[in-house]
Structure 1
Amino acid sequence: MLFTPYRLGALEIPNRIVMPPMTRSRAGHGDVATPLMSEYYAQRASAGLILSEGTQISRQGQGYAWTPGIYTPEQVAGWRTVTDAVHAKGGRMFAQLWHVGRVSHNTLQPDGGAPVSSSPLVAEGVKVFIDPDGRGPEGGIGEMVQHSKPRALSEAEIAYVVQDFVNAARNAIDAGFDGVELHGANGYLINQFIDSQANTRVDGYGGSLSRRLRFLREVAEAVSVAIGEDRVGVRLAPLTTLQGAVDDTPQATYLAAAKVLDDVGAAYIHIAEADWDDAPQMPAAFKEALRLMYRGTMIYSGKYTAERAEQALQNGWADLIGFGRPFVANPDLPARLQLGLGLNQLDASTLFGGGAAGYTDYARAV
């Protein structure tokens, strides 16, 4: 099934293989996508669907140096060169819209202010990548530092953030993307509202589960109205505890989140499974329950092989499968998987920042 076509919203995609979002920190001045990024994504256009690296919706939404944005005209124009290159190779591409919330540093924020979050909580040990010398991705040496203490968004400010997501979604369509994915996973802003241990609010956005899911619902609804629900997906990570976001009852919480997205009519849910070596396994019963709560397309990512992917598709709880790290080192990954060819090994030292080395220079097998 992995190599059979699939209909996702208005898109006909030729296989069930997804390139998931992966931060590579190679944006240029002004956080603009570069010609090198166009080459990188176009090399991987044989994926059924490419999801862009996390793309900040505002300056406030940035948490790491050298990541691209989609809130200025220059950034939109930069991304247009990427989508044009991908479409010229026959590919399809969604933009992942990203607000990191508290996972940021004062030096990355407007006027050096505090990052924002659901609550004024510091996640100790959570570090972000900054460029203290301002040299840029090719010549710079970044630094990992503890994220800065955040402040809680007011209810009035939350409305402005929702509008930032809407503006970014419209910009993404103007830039030629086929749709957008809302980043609701990995401990970033939407996740900071959802997970119980990251949200200590006592107003309309905290406390009960329905209130903790309110921000997710409002963003998904507003973006769906702006660009069409068939162009909107959402990434969730029910069992991960990245960036200090932990939920006390993850199965109940994320089944309720899936129902919210079913009500909204989102085109897909993208589940990021925990992928570290001793990570907890996501129970099959949980996946089956998600399928019952949500009637749209289900994407799963997290240490999948071709064999595991086929089993997931055959079991019926997945429609599409994301292959993350293998796509970094194998631009022709779908062909390699289909033909049973060996995979290039990833050079982890070149993942973040730099130029073409470890980015666009991996060999193709076919």
Structure 2
Amino acid sequence: MIYTDWIYWLFVLVAVVTYHIMPHRIRPWVLFAAGVTFYYYYAGSYLFLLLAEVIIAILIVKAAAKWSKRWIYPAAIIGVILVLGYFKYTNMLLDTLNDLFAFMQQPFFPKAEQIVLPLGISYFTFELIHYLVERKRGNLPDHRPEGLLSFIFFFPTMVAGPIKQFQVFYPQIKAKFHIDHILIGITRIGFGMFKKLVLAGTIDLLAQPVYSKAGIAGADTGTLWISLIAYTFVIYFDFSGYSDIAIGTARLFGIVIPENFRFPYLARSIAEFWNRWHISLGSWLTRYVYFPLGGSRVPAPRVYLNLMATMTVSGLWHGAAWNFVVWGMFHGVMLCIHRFHVKQIKPKIKPVPKWLKPGTTVIAILITFFGVTISRVFFILPIVDGWDLMLRLLGLR
């Protein structure tokens, strides 16, 4: 893991000190240089792929000032998506086609074994799409090219987010620094390390049975429930721990980046859960998938379709396998049920008496947690194995 590598923290120290002793006009270049160094050390020559995409984006922005924005920005966004698609989904597509042609003795399409997913390319792609869309809309502050370079190559968020917004990030480079940033940053890093190394690492011992088909076959229903619930907390402590480390490291530079988690397992509905879980991703999907599809401003059937489409994209983004698509659709169905309840059923029900509200709140939290937890079977396992685990958990097999 990157964060247990002493050289990483030495690198952070050097980058932070260099950043603060430099004049404000040089600081974007410091962030860019630090990001390039970080990415090349951990991902090698894939750095040049990311650099090429950003340089092309800068040239497109310049070209858009002379040519029509109507087509040049959409073309650039499609190009960025195609690059991600090639690296992340080519093997998934070829495997799917080979499964469809399974009646042949030899694979109909050779698997592209040489394609390796570049480190952090999903987050890189989403931030670059955000930049291009907001640039087209005219929502970004004036800046020089190094502004985009520092934003995209800000190393604390390159591996796994949180997903930033340029118009929030860039002005902070010129803001006055306060010592509170250092204190908050160190504290957040400490909390993050504790979550990842202690909590996630310890609880993971209980989660082992659900990680494999053999483990599932050798466990009883009670053990499987304990294991799946443990995994639900493992993924939370691991991911939120990383986010804490990223947020804390950014604070050392005097930069505040988005929060990613706000006690998601206390959510009272699946909609509230997605306002508390991986918040920066949910916000990105809302702005650039759900709203462009029409959001909730369209007739009810379209709203449900928009929810399903958005969560399917979320699932596909999380992993290049069909079980992630099913996981995303599972959440889409839960969001549709929640919306139907809020819009069609709840208005017809009498308000709950005040003395019953604490109890109903607890029940709502438990129902939401159950839905989120049972959906994890498709996040961990292939579809067939995940379905088998779900049946086992529900006592149907």
Q: Is the structural similarity TM-score above 0.5?
A: no
Q: Which has the higher strand share?
A: 1
Greater C-alpha Rg: 2
Which one has more relative contact order, counting CA pairs under 8 Å at least 6 apart?
Answer: 1
Q: Which TM bucket (shorter chain)? A: under 0.3
Q: Structure 2-normalised TM-score?
A: 0.23
